[in-house]
Amino acid sequence: MQKQGIYKIITNVPLTKSVYKMVLEGDTSNITAPGQFINIELAGKFLRRPISICDWNETTITVIYKVVGEGTRQMAGMKEGEELDILVGLGNGFNTNIDKMKHPLLVGGGVGVPPMYGLAKKLLAEGKRPTMIMGFNTAEEVFYYEEFVALGLDVFVTTVDGTGGTKGFVTDAMEQNGILYDYLYCCGPEPMLKALHRGVMTGGQLSFEERMGCGFGACMGCSCKTLTGYKRICKDGPVMYKEEITFE
């Protein structure tokens, strides 16, 4: 159930040159699954900014966002103690109740990495043995490697220019390290989603991004076509099952 509330910033720090981590304090009772997102109202902006949830507990929500425009630049300039009007618990999130899944593969690209953190925690708590691959353009952009390692799972890093981890794309790391898995979870840029959708034989879930109007399913601003009908990325997604996805 989605809800609106006022949240207080308790941390807002850069992780890389353009990626920030913000911890917000407030009601988290309506977050039901990793992969959900929050929609943040900003002064002087008409539309809210949808940001995926990285992690949450009883009293705080952690989001990691990249400065890509005016709104996120404004967020990066905000200080501890400032308050934000936020819609929380949006989207479906990842389903971890998958029959016979034991070794899920988690793939995150850039700011597609954060939702994988909450997902990894949930999968571990449910006794699964996940492996994480994180893909970036260059070593300077890498964030949250240690945090994933600290969860106690195997973590592989790839960079397109080879300055960190395996050189190339996440699919190169999958091949070169001979990673075994029986299910796929992925969040990242569309070329990554396409490559995995085409190349991975197991079942899986992919998380999508789109420019949104409301973020809660009313405006049909972020619709997409799937093999099971038209879906709203904000409400029926952002997570879609691999079997229903089409890139046509």
> Of the candidates 199, 218, 227, 228, which one interacts with another protein according to CB under 8 A?
218
The residue to which tokens 């994480």 are assigned: 132
> Of the candidates 121, 223, 226, 244, which one interacts with another protein according to CB under 8 A?
223
State the nearest-atom distance from the C-beta of 126 to another protein, in Å.
27
CA distances from 67 to 76, 105, 212, 244 (A): 7, 28, 17, 31
Q: Does residue number 177 form part of the binding site for another protein (CB under 8 A)?
A: no
Nearer to another protein, 2 or 36 (CB): 2
Backbone angles phi, psi at 171, to 5 degrees: -65, -30
| Range 68-107, binding another protein (CB under 8 A) | 87
Nearer to another protein, 9 or 47 (CB): 47
> Of the candidates 173, 200, 212, 239, which one interacts with another protein according to CB under 8 A?
212
> Of the candidates 9, 10, 15, 47, which one interacts with another protein according to CB under 8 A?
47
> Of the candidates 24, 86, 142, 222, which one interacts with another protein according to CB under 8 A?
222
Number of Cβ within 10 Å of residue 243's Cβ equals 11
Reduce the DSSP state of residue 239 to 3 states and report it: strand
Rg of the Cα trace of the chain? 17
* Polymer length of the chain: 248
Nearer to another protein, 51 or 106 (CB): 51
> Of the candidates 94, 216, 236, 242, which one interacts with another protein according to CB under 8 A?
216
Cis amide bond preceding 238, omega within 30: yes
The residue to which tokens 């995995």 are assigned: 196
Helices (H) and strands (E) in the chain, counts: 5, 15
Point out which residues bind another protein (CB under 8 A).
Answer: 1-4, 41, 44-48, 87, 210-214, 216-225, 230, 235
